[in-house]
Amino acid sequence: MTDDTDGAHFLFVGDSHDIPAVRAMAERLPTNAYGQIYLEVTSPLQVQRWPLPPGVTVTWLRRDRHPRIAPRGDLAARAAEGWIAEWMPGDAAEPERPFILWVGCGTNRTMDRLHRELHARLEGD
């Protein structure tokens, strides 16, 4: 990532198909990066350890940990919605730092809706 990302708050959300893309982005984060990565996977075999800046955390959302395997993308969508509620509340003033968001899970309707809402919100549409 370039110097224009200094001070930005990162959110990357994806599923197992997005792991290579998210890892490539994570490897380019500045050393002072701050943010969260949520990756939804089916089993512990997909969980990986990545070298990350100290201010960035990866949360592996395992679908197999639920009594009935969660539908693909649902855990990622819930994690993203929680993050948005905390870091981007609708009634908040302008954030102190910019947000850099990447949303995957393209096959999940909830994530598609969330992506459209975020885009509209950030673009002021």
Average per-residue pLDDT in the chain? 83
pLDDT band at residue 2 under the 50/70/90 scheme? very low
Instruction: Provide the 3-class DSSP secondary structure of residue 105.
Output: coil
What's the gap between Cα 16 and its chain centre?
13
Say whether pLDDT at 68 is over 90.
no
Average pLDDT over residues 42-65: 92
Q: Do 78 and 66 contact (CB within 8 A), yes or no?
A: no
Residue linked to tokens 């959302």: 61
Architecture of domain 3-123: 3-Layer(aba) Sandwich (3.40)
Indicate the DSSP class of residue 59.
Answer: E
Is there a contact between 104 and 41 (Cβ–Cβ < 8 Å)?
Answer: no
Q: Is the pTM of this model over 0.85?
A: no
Q: Which amino acid is at 85?
A: A
pLDDT digit string (tens) for 72-111? Answer: 888 898 898 898 888 876 665 565 667 888 888 777 777 7
Q: Where are the domains of the chain?
A: 3-123
